[in-house]
Structure 1
């Protein structure tokens, strides 16, 4: 009896993905490095005494404008193929980052211009992400979507492990602008790889039909927004927990992020084997995994728990994207995914903003406890909603089986409940 082949084999051997995945890997590493470089260059450019606001503005500018681009550019981009959307985002990122590097080298980069160019660079980010997942839906059958989504997630998580420490070393030897130059070059490589993909423009939807989510998709959108929102306070509370509650150095904070990234990389690899897993167990398990931090567990216990949290975190987006890929008509997929990204991209920054006053009011450890308990509650609510939706669809399924003929239900409307994967 032949051993079962890996679910990643059809993904890694596909002629189109063989060309694209190396470029995605290179770009992911560059973007992992930019996590450090964007804020560090803001520190260099900011006037004395104003570094905090400028760093916050730089970090926000590198992500939040994607929500605006996803919302206002739909009429121009929604009929484009996945490779075109992802390629155009890569070109814009490369061009804007290269402009930052050149202006910095010329000594003509004031902080406001730096923030503006970062904002320009992120304008198509929601469409670039939508393009990657749309490309997968265009070239692979549905049974391989989850494995391909997991491969993309694994590359991103691996980059999050390797990129920041590599950026730190390079900044120590040179400066942050050099790291952004490398990131710009990585996006240029990615843009070239998408040019190698044979593209067939997607059929344009009739008229100017607004983006509509199916009932189950709306539930997933709401679940995702709240999930990311509740994780936002961790970015404020965890550093303060390490410094104030544990009386430890930044080395321990970096170790928390490292073990989380290692767990997430492992979770990304495991994603392809979770084809029947709903989303709600992922949310519930993530909340349980981060609970030790809120309970004041020592690092010997909380570090392995945070690694487990990374393991649980990684499958979330691949499972959600697989549902959207399966339940959205091809001519609307990129627009729906861009709208999804535009809405969810603001969740973590909002959660982070809420985390500041919450930490001030109750302290970092209790903030972590509130977030963890809320995530567990969210997973429980999602589980109940999923079971209720499945019970509601059983009579419909029976009626469909006994009917002699007739039109099938819309894929968007027939998806059973929150968390079906």
Structure 2
């Protein structure tokens, strides 16, 4: 038991990672509080409009479609620590401006749209940079563990944030929650400032040019990566729209108040947290069949959640669905990340972010339309069914022998870090970790 706990929290023995994780825990909790406050405010201003809520979600994720690939090049080329500090400061300013509008009683829906677009633009740079930065904090050997712990603190924040936000909204209103979120970004900035740059695991040189096309060519040449990326894209589009489906389910199906909505989100996050802790014990690259199995399980659970007859059964199923969503996301993340060449990992993970989160605007608009037309349950039912069919499709292709296994790695090399040609590249851990993609990830 003692040994298992030591393995679970092994990355926390690294000072730089401890500082980063502590700052992120506070900041991400504030972000999830903001998600609840923002969604509740939109529904309050628009008479529970699913279309308006879908528009906010779409605007927040639309910049990922346009900027994430370029941001992956930035993450490979420039100082990730400085990029992250700048991104968090800008996000804090945006949150503060929206909070002041709410306090003044002047907020309108278009203000929230504008804020969502601004935050999405910042996140397009922050997400792939943060994911790539974790490997600099801990090095290649601890990368899977640090990735899972990143998902764990993300979901601890996701458990605490919505629960606290629901209470604060009932007591003080949405503006207070938004102010707390604005201040919380300073925790990440402080942690980054305290990090010792000399202890980071960086390559000797950054590339003068980090072209997106090179990253795309690397991915296309690796069919074992491409099949998982396709699966992530479909499930990200159809199945991972909980920022939209959960508030609609709570408010329009179960007629819950803000506190009860927060508890539904907390149930989902608690399941995701449990999955993140389970995956801290993973060593090496997960097999493709594990990724497919995780996708199948997630699809079934989301489908069942869409048919939940009562609030209590929905909460129980969301706990299981949260577990399934995180287990799949981590398996896919580790499969892609630990199978790609470190020299391209920033760009490959930018592609991962693009297909996982960049499809969210389309998914949000689709789910918004479905919910307005067929009711709030339809978003979960269709998302689960499509995820299930996508997993079965990739399984059929795999069973047909169309997805080749990567080259065998020579004995003694770090598992999963082969570039697919039977050799281990010179470590340049400015690549990336397996941290969650975003308060919607990751």
The one of 181, 184, 191 aligned to 1:183: 181
1:264 offset after TM fit, Å?
1.4
Give 1 or 2 for the bigger CA radius of gyration. 1
1:107 offset after TM fit, Å?
6.6
**Cα–Cα, structure 1 residues 414 and 240, in superposed 2: closer, same or farther, change >3 Å?**
farther
1:324 offset after TM fit, Å?
3.6
Question: 1:250 aligned to 2:256?
Answer: yes
Return the alpha-carbon distance in structure 1 between the equivalents of residues 95 and 244 of structure 2. Answer: 27
Equivalent position SS for 1:279: helix
**Cα–Cα, structure 1 residues 318 and 391, in superposed 2: closer, same or farther, change >3 Å?**
closer
**Cα–Cα, structure 1 residues 413 and 363, in superposed 2: closer, same or farther, change >3 Å?**
farther
Equivalent position SS for 1:62: helix
Question: 1:336 aligned to 2:348?
Answer: yes
Return 5+ residue gaps in structure 1 as ranges: 402-408, 416-420
Equivalent position SS for 1:64: helix
Match of 1:157 in 2: 155
Q: Which moved more, 1:136-145 or 1:162-171?
A: 136-145
Cα deviation 1:353-377 (Å, max 9, x = unaligned): 2234445666665664443333223
Question: 1:264 aligned to 2:272?
Answer: yes
The one of 227, 245, 249 aligned to 1:219: 227
**Cα–Cα, structure 1 residues 181 and 303, in superposed 2: closer, same or farther, change >3 Å?**
closer
Equivalent position SS for 2:320: helix
Return the alpha-carbon distance in structure 2 between the equivalents of residues 126 and 343 of structure 1. Answer: 12
How well do the aligned residues superpose, as a CA RMSD in angstroms?
3.8
1:304 offset after TM fit, Å?
3.4
Match of 2:428 in 1: none
Task: Note if contact 2:254-2:311 (Cα within 8 Å) is conserved in structure 1.
Answer: no
Match of 1:167 in 2: 165
Cα deviation 1:331-370 (Å, max 9, x = unaligned): 4322332232133213334233223444566666566444
Cα deviation 1:68-107 (Å, max 9, x = unaligned): 3324555655412433333232122112222333455567
Match of 2:206 in 1: 204
Q: Which moved more, 1:184-193 or 1:300-309?
A: 300-309
Q: How many residues align?
A: 402
1:164 offset after TM fit, Å?
1.8
Cα deviation 1:46-80 (Å, max 9, x = unaligned): 5x879776554444443433433324555655412
Match of 1:140 in 2: 138
1:263 offset after TM fit, Å?
1.4
1:21 offset after TM fit, Å?
1.0
Return the alpha-carbon distance in structure 1 between the equivalents of residues 379 and 87 of structure 2. Answer: 36
- The residue correspondences of 1:221-370 to structure 2 (distance < 5 A) are 221-232=229-240, 248-250=254-256, 255-275=263-283, 276=286, 278-294=290-306, 303-359=315-371, 368-370=380-382
Equivalent position SS for 1:205: coil
1:318 offset after TM fit, Å?
2.6
1:414 offset after TM fit, Å?
6.9
Cα deviation 1:9-64 (Å, max 9, x = unaligned): 321111111111110100111011001222344567x5x87977655444444343
TM-score, normalised to structure 1, is 0.79
Return the alpha-carbon distance in structure 1 between the equivalents of residues 40 and 188 of structure 2. Answer: 24
Return the alpha-carbon distance in structure 2 between the equivalents of residues 366 and 104 of structure 1. Answer: 32
Question: 1:34 aligned to 2:40?
Answer: no
